Structure formats: C-alpha cells, structure tokens
Amino acid sequence: MSIALENIKKMVYPGRVVIIGKSMQMENIVMYAITGRSPSSQARRLEIDEEEKIIFVKPTDEETLKTGNPDLLVYPAVICGDGIAVSNGKQTVDVFKNLVKDAHPVEVLIKALRDWEYEPDEPNYTPRISGCITNGLGLNILKRAKDGSVMRSFFEPPSVAGKGKMIATYTGVNVNPLPSFCGEPQDVELPWVNAREAVDALFEALEPQPGEPDFRVAAAAVYADEEGSISMQVHNRHGQKSQ
C-alpha cells in the first residue's frame, strides 16, 4: 500500500471519507469512501451513471437497508459538471447546484449548506462532510456541538501537484458513541496516474488489521482534466463488480 494513505490506514473506523486535491499532472481529483458497522450501512454499493457523470450510493439489499435510515444511506455521492461536488449525503445536490464558473469554493459551500446540519442519528450525530472543486478546492464539515448547535467549518486547501486534503466523519476509533472528526483536514499524497489506481489504493488502505472486522463498503475516485475529460471509477465490496 502506498504511504500516501498511511493516515487512513491508522483509522479503524473512519465512517465516510472525502479527499480532494490535484494529481501530479494537475488534474482535479476527488476520492470518496464508505465504511459501515451496521448491516444497513454494509448493504450498499457505489454505482456510476456515465451519462450524467454521477456516482450514486445504492442499496444491495432493500430489506436490510430499511433496518437503518434509508434517507441517510442512499444519495448521490459525487456529481461532475461545471466543477465537482462530493459529500456523504443528499447535500451533494445542493453543492452541485451552486457550482458556477469561477465561483469561489468556500463561498459555494457556505451558500449550499446554510440550511443543512449534522445527521439526526443519535447518539452519533454523524457530521455531514462535503467538498467541491471549482476555481479552487473547498471542504466543509457540519458537526454537533455539546449544546446541540451546529458547528460549521470551512477549509480552502491549496492546489499543489500531487497533494490533497482528507476529512472523515469520525476520528477513526471504534467506540460508542463515535467521536466526530476534529481539527484541520489531513494531508494526503496523490501519486496515482489515473482513477483506477487511486480507487484501488483507497480501498486497500481501509483494509483492517488481522483479526479486526472489515468495515469496508466501497470507494470511488474521479480524475478530471482542464479539457473536460472525466474518469470515474468505483471499487465495491458487496453487490457489484468494480467499475
């Protein structure tokens, strides 16, 4: 496994993961991963709509999915067009709607997410994590404060060849309730030449240590160059062969 994802490998249970950055050739890169502890979270896969340039989270088993909250479990994870939007929920649509040419990425996220808050899944209150690439890179996390209010953090990572930033929903420890991700986005190296190499590396990085449960569900990677060429790849553990 590449040392580029060593920080993710140390996370026993990260929940959902968002990575944005630039390839060595300065292509835009978005990566997304899902891990899950419950049967409903595991009963999912990532599916590519090549025509619409969307990566959806879809169920592998409708009945198992219903044991959780389908409204929080099924959504468009990545949408590509005039920029790229990514998130761990239905807020992806609102982020994408605000992607206009030359828009400032943090301004996009502030506007798109002003009516959103953390997920209502007591006791974890899973954060909503989102990112976009427009005229730059933007990341956001919405998480619950101790008094129940919403803490909104926005970040504008630099555009550097072969570098990116990562946020997750949780800190990586597998306890109850799950502690929300905290601090600044983490540095990630992005050495891969294409989306297939990237998605396979991300899925491998989430592999558990010997004797530990495998929480992996799926991973995705998107590479987009300045000419508008977009490559989308997914790696699923359940329900569908990787694309």
Q: Give the pLDDT score at 227.
A: 85
Element at 41 (helix H, strand E): helix 39-42
Element at 227 (helix H, strand E): none
> Is the overall model pTM greater than 0.85, yes or no?
yes
Per the domain annotation, does 138 fall within a domain?
A: yes
Residues near 230 by Cβ (< 8 Å), separated by ≥ 6? 53, 80, 222, 223, 224
Per the domain annotation, does 241 fall within a domain?
A: no
Spatial separation of the C-alpha atoms in residues 149 and 18, rounded to whole Å: 23
- CATH number of domain containing 206: 3.60.20.20
DSSP character at residue 208: P
Q: Give the pLDDT score at 84.
A: 97
How many domains does the structure of the chain reveal? 1
Q: Give the pLDDT score at 172.
A: 96
Instruction: Yes or no: say if 88 and 77 are a contact pair by the CB < 8 Å rule.
Output: yes
Per the domain annotation, does 243 fall within a domain?
A: no
Per the domain annotation, does 242 fall within a domain?
A: no
Tens digits of pLDDT across the chain (243 residues): 455 698 999 999 999 999 999 999 999 999 999 999 999 999 999 999 999 999 999 999 999 989 999 999 999 999 999 899 999 999 999 999 999 888 999 999 999 999 999 999 999 999 999 999 999 999 999 999 999 999 999 999 999 999 999 999 999 999 999 999 999 999 999 999 999 999 999 999 999 989 899 999 999 999 999 888 999 999 999 866 555
Per the domain annotation, does 40 fall within a domain?
A: yes
What is the CB-side half-sphere exposure of residue 86 using CA atoms within 13 A? 30
Q: Give the pLDDT score at 241.
A: 54
Instruction: Yes or no: say if 76 and 93 are a contact pair by the CB < 8 Å rule.
Output: yes
**Closest to 175 (Cα-Cα) out of 16, 1, 11, 22:** 11
Instruction: Yes or no: say if 29 and 190 are a contact pair by the CB < 8 Å rule.
Output: yes
The structure tokens listed for 109 are 């996220």
- 86: domain range? 3-236
